[in-house]
Structure 1
């Protein structure tokens, strides 16, 4: 008995299969890249907001001021330092001895490397502000509110995006209570803009 050989796939069937895989890849891969970028930016903002909240609490607990310095750059990578906190004697610029702000460690960008870059910018001068003893926010280490551009109750914001692409996420620090709020702007990755939607941490 003779067995008929299998004819296999025709060239047309193979071309159709490759075309379908290409179309699906063209849809799925960009969506996956966007979702990954969103998750990375969300992780940075969530980690930084938690770190800032810990620093704010330690200023109140230890009766000191915590000077927070933000690294403003358009080319930060995973594991680069994005924020540091130093214990300062209230009302001065002198370092306080024997105490630390938060854990005492700088805040590093999460991740294990890669070619992506983060853009970080601030709305306040010198990328520097203070959490005072009662957890309030000040740009000059006095007991008052954050001061910026001649106002007495300014919102300080930190803006972060990945690869210069949307979305941009923000952290807003507000007034006497040192409130930390998170923001979102889905239309731009430019950290010169501000977030358009805000919510509580």
Structure 2
């Protein structure tokens, strides 16, 4: 005769499985959030570079000087429209052409914008203070060149590898990089 003793799982075994599933979920979610924060910074950096390149193209196409005001405190870049300076003014009636970083990366992510002019011979390094800094003006000539060397940094409290964008004179070239060890690393892939 056969006994009907069914072998099941003990309470300890079931609790161990539940704890392991919980730990796996927590690790997976934290990796996911880090990935999403990194993707937002990438998106913001690429969007700024694309916007600046669009302004450069507008200056070339219309043979006018285009001036961009970078406002770190508000996280915006704005095309300055001043007809007395011969600046870009392509709308009738004129309206501001503005890039807002917070709208680009999303309202739940706080990304700080830092910008400064650089000496052409100096090495590009990230902004040193946590303060956003003062407003900065960058110009594109009718040939698409710029007399300004500028460094724009995107910083996030949730991300250790922030982004840097360099605007190089005289050609107005734009470089994208990642902040590693308090330096802009131009070789790392986004």
Shared fold, TM over 0.5: yes
Deviation at 1:25? 2.4
CA change 1:178–1:88 in 2 (3 A) is farther
CA contact under 8 A between 1:59 and 1:133: conserved in structure 2? yes
Would you tell me which structure has more helix in proportion to its own residues?
2
Please state if 1:121 is matched with 2:114: yes
Q: How does 1:124-135 map to 2 (within 5 A)?
A: 124=117, 126-135=135-144
CA contact under 8 A between 1:40 and 1:162: conserved in structure 2? no
CA contact under 8 A between 2:114 and 2:153: conserved in structure 1? yes
Which one of the candidate residues 141, 152, 159 is aligned to 2:153? 159
Residues of 2 paired with 1:200 and 1:22: CA distance? 33
| TM-score, normalisation: structure 2 | 0.73
Please state if 1:42 is matched with 2:42: yes
CA change 1:126–1:11 in 2 (3 A) is same
CA change 1:11–1:17 in 2 (3 A) is same
CA contact under 8 A between 2:166 and 2:176: conserved in structure 1? yes
More moved, 177-186 vs 43-52: 177-186
> Gaps spanning 5+ residues in structure 2: where?
118-133
Residues of 2 paired with 1:10 and 1:59: CA distance? 74
Deviation at 1:9? 4.5
Higher relative contact order (CA 8 A, sep 6+): 2
Deviation at 1:67? 1.4
Please state if 1:107 is matched with 2:99: yes
| TM-score, normalisation: structure 1 | 0.69
CA contact under 8 A between 1:45 and 1:160: conserved in structure 2? yes
Residue of structure 1 equivalent to 2:59: 59
Aligned CA RMSD, in angstroms, stands at 3.1
Q: Number of residue pairs matched? A: 166
